[in-house]
Amino acid sequence: MMNPLPLVIATLRRNPVTTITFIALVAVAVGLGVAITSQERALKRGSAHAADRFDLVIAAPGSQTDAMLKAVFLRTGSVELLKPEVVARVFAEPHAEIVAPIAFGDSHDGAPIVGSVPGFVTYLSGGKLAEGRPFADHEEAVVGAASPLKIGDTFHPTHGDGHAELEGDGEEHGHDHEHGVDITVVGRMAPTGSPWDMAIVVPVELTWELHNLPTGHPQGSEQVGPPYVSDRLPGVPALVVKPDSVAAAYGLRNIYRAQDSTAFFPAEVLVELYALLGDMRQLMNVMALATQTLVIVAILVGIMVLLRLYRVQFSVLRALGAPRSFIFLTIWSYVALIVAVGAVAGLGLGMGLAGTISAAFTAQTGIALDATIGASEIWLVMAIIAIGMAVATVPAALLYRKPVIDALR
């Protein structure tokens, strides 16, 4: 049987610009599909990892998604405060190893300043800080792994970042201004792969004090962290609780799913969000496959126009004795090769695009994303190649059936 490969290569070389254009179109279409699917999977892994150490969140009644976005992902926005009496009850829970209030209200150079307790920064850092020590004084801070601040640096917190909940009435007051306090960095957390890597954590007592709220301790006390005086505790946006057992976790969740509070596992909320993402992913996969098929069909039309220019050459080959199967295989190989090369190139393009998007998303949100190529992306490329091979039979069959006399006339 005659080998069609030399003729295919000669045809490709004769029209390099057209060939490269067709390959590039397929590569871009496939690359976008690969980037979308790999990015969605990376977002799931990254967000789940970011929430790993947030066992149980207790907040005011309302949207659990909003509370999770505030406490875990440090997203800005107003949220109701958990009542002081509920805060006091949670701190008194015997089965809670760590109770960490999460209080907002200030920032520094765009980085959120979060008020909490010393034990929480150690826990969030995996049991040990990467550098320095936890804060032990009102005017000390521990920074996230990605913060540009260094141990020993001093800064002024700025009020007015959009977190109005500390004002107590749900309204924003005033404009951006610096508080008259010097805060010194004394420690740095280990990387968490979450927005906390860019955060600045200070004693919650300082956050309360700067916003004219009681500090949870007797008047004039400089104590940092628990125990707190119940009638001196203000409300907080959320409490992060580490129970001492799985049973205790479910017990506390049930207790604080009440009229004046809500309690949830962040993983529960993420599963709901993942279900929504899964539905969107299926839709986007269908749209991506449809778009790529349309691109292949458009390329097919272009190739059919191009091959009409070669109908005389193919007819001459037929007249010289080349079998119809050779003509069919040559044209089919030409189209299939363009689609296959474009699809494989698209896989590489998708990997690069996904990596770029992941880096930009991580820089913007602090959630560490690592987009990788998986089985779904491989199957997508294989599906495109299969579609291309099927579609390639159309121009091959048209020229295969063309009578030699009509083509030479």
In total, how many domains does the chain have?
Answer: 2
Token pair listed for 350: 């998708």
User: Exposed/middle/buried for 181, CB within 10 Å: 0-12, 13-18, 19+?
Assistant: middle
**Contacts of 313 by beta carbon, 8 Å cutoff, 6+ apart:** none
pLDDT of residue 166: 41
Looking at the fold, whether 37 and 130 belong to one and the same domain comes out as no
pLDDT of residue 307: 65
Instruction: Evaluate if pTM is beyond 0.95.
Output: no
The Cα 122–Cα 128 span in angstroms is 5
Looking at the fold, whether 86 and 163 belong to one and the same domain comes out as yes
**DSSP states along 302-356:** HHHHHHHTTHHHHHHHHHTT--HHHHHHHHHHHHHHHHHHHHHHHHHHHHHHHHH
Looking at the fold, whether 198 and 288 belong to one and the same domain comes out as no
Looking at the fold, whether 192 and 258 belong to one and the same domain comes out as yes
From 230, 264, 298, the end of a domain falls on: 264
Looking at the fold, whether 224 and 309 belong to one and the same domain comes out as no
From 232, 264, 296, the end of a domain falls on: 264
Domain range for residue 380?
5-48+272-408
Looking at the fold, whether 25 and 162 belong to one and the same domain comes out as no
pLDDT of residue 264: 93
Looking at the fold, whether 92 and 63 belong to one and the same domain comes out as yes
The Cα 374–Cα 245 span in angstroms is 35
Looking at the fold, whether 222 and 134 belong to one and the same domain comes out as yes
Estimate the crossing angle of helix 375-391 against helix 393-401, to 10 degrees: 10
Q: Render each residue's pLDDT in the chain as its tens digit; 409 residues.
A: 567 677 778 777 877 888 888 888 888 888 888 888 888 778 888 888 888 889 999 999 988 888 888 888 888 767 788 999 999 999 999 999 999 999 887 888 888 899 999 999 999 988 889 999 999 998 999 999 989 999 999 998 887 554 434 444 434 444 455 556 889 999 999 998 888 999 999 999 998 988 888 888 888 888 888 888 888 899 899 999 999 899 999 999 999 998 889 999 998 888 877 776 666 666 666 776 777 777 777 777 777 776 666 665 666 665 555 676 777 788 788 888 888 898 899 899 988 888 888 888 777 777 877 777 878 788 888 888 888 888 778 776 766 555 545 544 5
| R_g (Cα) of the chain, nearest Å | 31
Q: Closest Cα to residue 105, out of 16, 229, 200?
A: 200
From 212, 233, 264, the end of a domain falls on: 264
Looking at the fold, whether 101 and 188 belong to one and the same domain comes out as yes
The Cα 187–Cα 190 span in angstroms is 10
Looking at the fold, whether 190 and 337 belong to one and the same domain comes out as no
Looking at the fold, whether 212 and 256 belong to one and the same domain comes out as yes
The Cα 329–Cα 94 span in angstroms is 77
Looking at the fold, whether 163 and 214 belong to one and the same domain comes out as yes
